[in-house]
Amino acid sequence: MSSVAAAQTNLESDRPIPLVSFLDPIQADLAAVETKLNEEIRSDVRAAYAISGHTLSAGGKRLRPAAVLLSARSVKNAFPSQTVYASASAVELIHMASLIHDDVVDNTDERRGRPTANVIYGNQISVLVGDYLLAKSIYLAAREGVLEVIRIFSKVTVGLSEGEVLQITAQGDPNTSEETYFDIIKRKTAGFIAGCCEVGAVLSEASPVVRQALSDYGLSLGLAFQIADDLLDFLGDPKVTGKPRGSDLREGKMTLPLIAAYRQLGDEDIRKEQIAGWIQDPETLTPEAIEQVVATIHEFNGFEYARAAAVRQVAEAQSQITHLLPASQYRDSLCSLAEYALGRTS
Ligand code: FPP
Ligand code: MG
């Protein structure tokens, strides 16, 4: 069977809910979201359905729906479930759309241990199915009729796109600053997770102060999550992360561990010129060169530096909610989610 045919036979997602105990209080909610996602991606245009199904069934952590659900439940347990499930599904549709587009932009051939949509179906149709999923998310949110949620989703999507444009502009620049790095990840990842938490708060009719606190929690969680992702790119096991080691380097991207190490290299240090050359022209990067970059980052404590930054964001995230939200299993789960972002291996 060809890879296209294989992907087309598996349109429905029957993925297990992630086995992390802090998601136990929302297992039933996550299952309802999974059912909704399977319904929403259906199309009688076979390729649109096939690519959406391929992306949905690849799994993923469902972090963004979990952020909506936990935020909503942490404010008010008796929440408007159908509207919240629709919003939690809509954020996953936006996320799926952004990953399909991102894999085209980054020319990625593997995600979550499986060939990407662009590899199986080509760039043209992948971009269009990304558009299809984004449109589906707007349609779903519009059907629920909560204007404030649509406003937050729109703002988040603008930020996602700006972050990705900024990232492309910085690609190939070895002098990318820490400030630019944070600007990029704030927009492309953290702003989105902040929006998920804010939507949960809005749907549970949180006070403006609690709504802001949950949004700030999400922003810090998102920053920690993306820094951890960038650490895993260098240090993770490709069999567990589902993507090859050193992918960011291969894309000419300077991420926090490398930024922290590179700026300490003296102008006379031959490694400075070498790393600049690889970032500017990643085609010249060999597996040995990747190992050399990793060794240099180790030598200059770049991994410790990035990890410390992520640890600070986790503490910041937790401090936003511990005093403002009433004690509950959902608030505990939000705190555990922040720690999970840091300790994850995939
Ligand atoms: C993954 O980053 C990509 C993102 C977090 C955002 C992608 C956003 C767009 C393509 C803008 C268009 C948005 C929509 C809604 C259609 P990464 O490349 O660092 O992570 P990776 O290693 O998982 O690919
Ligand atoms: Mg990418």
Number of the ligand 1 atom closest to the C-alpha atom of 103? 24
Number of the ligand 1 atom closest to the C-alpha atom of 161? 11
The answer, yes or no, to whether any atom of ligand 1 lies below 6 A from the CB of 174, is no
**Arithmetic mean of pLDDT, 127-153:** 95
* 35-58 per-position pLDDT tens digit: 999 999 999 999 999 999 999 998
Q: What is the pLDDT of residue 2?
A: 37
pLDDT band at 289 (very low <50, low <70, confident <90, very high): very high
Q: What is the pLDDT of residue 18?
A: 52
Nearest to 218 by CA among 65, 109, 107, 104: 65
- Say if residue 14's pLDDT is above 60: no
- Say if residue 129's pLDDT is above 50: yes
The answer, yes or no, to whether any atom of ligand 1 lies below 6 A from the CB of 164, is yes
Task: Give the residue whose CA is nearest to atom 9 of ligand 1.
Answer: 98
- Say if residue 80's pLDDT is above 50: yes
Number of the ligand 1 atom closest to the C-alpha atom of 133? 16
| Best mutation site among 52, 55, 96, 98 for ligand 1 pocket (most ligand atoms within 8 Å of CB) | 98
Q: How far is the CA of 338 from the centre of ligand 2 (A)?
A: 22
Q: What percent of the chain has a predicted confidence (pLDDT) above 90?
A: 82
**Length in residues, the chain:** 346
Residue written as token pair 């996953």 = 92
The answer, yes or no, to whether any atom of ligand 1 lies below 6 A from the CB of 106, is yes
**φ/ψ bin of 269: left (φ > 0), alpha (ψ from -120 to 50), beta (otherwise):** beta
Cα(197)–Cα(314) distance, rounded to whole angstroms? Answer: 15
The answer, yes or no, to whether any atom of ligand 1 lies below 6 A from the CB of 92, is no
pLDDT band at 343 (very low <50, low <70, confident <90, very high): confident
- Say if residue 3's pLDDT is above 70: no
Q: Give the pair of three-digit tokens for residue 158.
A: 């603008």
Q: How far is the CA of 203 from the centre of ligand 2 (A)?
A: 31
Q: How many other C-beta atoms can be found within 10 angstroms of the C-beta atom of residue 111?
A: 23
Q: What percent of the chain has a predicted confidence (pLDDT) above 70?
A: 94
* 22-35 per-position pLDDT tens digit: 899 999 999 999 99
* 176-214 per-position pLDDT tens digit: 999 999 999 999 999 999 999 999 999 999 999 999 999
pLDDT band at 15 (very low <50, low <70, confident <90, very high): very low
Q: How far is the CA of 105 from the centre of ligand 2 (A)?
A: 8
Q: Where are the alpha helices (DSSP H) in the chain?
A: 3-9, 27-40, 46-57, 63-75, 81-105, 117-121, 123-144, 147-170, 178-185, 191-203, 208-235, 238-241, 247-250, 256-262, 270-280, 287-299, 302-322, 329-343
The answer, yes or no, to whether any atom of ligand 1 lies below 6 A from the CB of 157, is yes
**Arithmetic mean of pLDDT, 331-339:** 93
Cα(95)–Cα(344) distance, rounded to whole angstroms? Answer: 19
Q: How far is the CA of 103 from the centre of ligand 1 (A)?
A: 8
**φ/ψ bin of 13: left (φ > 0), alpha (ψ from -120 to 50), beta (otherwise):** beta
| Best mutation site among 160, 185, 189, 253 for ligand 1 pocket (most ligand atoms within 8 Å of CB) | 160
Which helix (H) or strand (E) is 115 found in, with range? strand 114-115
Task: Give the residue whose CA is nearest to atom 7 of ligand 1.
Answer: 98
User: In angstroms, how far is CA 20 from the centroid of its own chain?
Assistant: 18
Lowest mean pLDDT among 19-23, 35-39, 221-225: 19-23
**Arithmetic mean of pLDDT, 126-142:** 97
**Arithmetic mean of pLDDT, 159-168:** 96
Q: How far is the CA of 72 from the centre of ligand 1 (A)?
A: 25
Q: Where are the alpha helices (DSSP H) in 145-177?
A: 147-170
Nearest ligand, measured from the Cα of 91 = 1
Q: How far is CA 33 from CA 68, 88, 244, 332, in A?
A: 11, 7, 30, 21
Report all structural domains of the chain as residue ranges with CATH numbers, in order of start: 3-343 (1.10.600.10)
Give CA angle at 327 (74, 321), nearest 5°.
65
Q: How far is the CA of 325 from the centre of ligand 1 (A)?
A: 31
Nearest ligand, measured from the Cα of 165 = 1
Q: How far is the CA of 106 from the centre of ligand 2 (A)?
A: 5
**Arithmetic mean of pLDDT, 261-269:** 97
Mean pLDDT (the chain, rounded): 91
Q: How far is the CA of 161 from the centre of ligand 1 (A)?
A: 8
Cα(64)–Cα(298) distance, rounded to whole angstroms? Answer: 32
Residue written as token pair 């190992």 = 291
**Arithmetic mean of pLDDT, 230-235:** 95
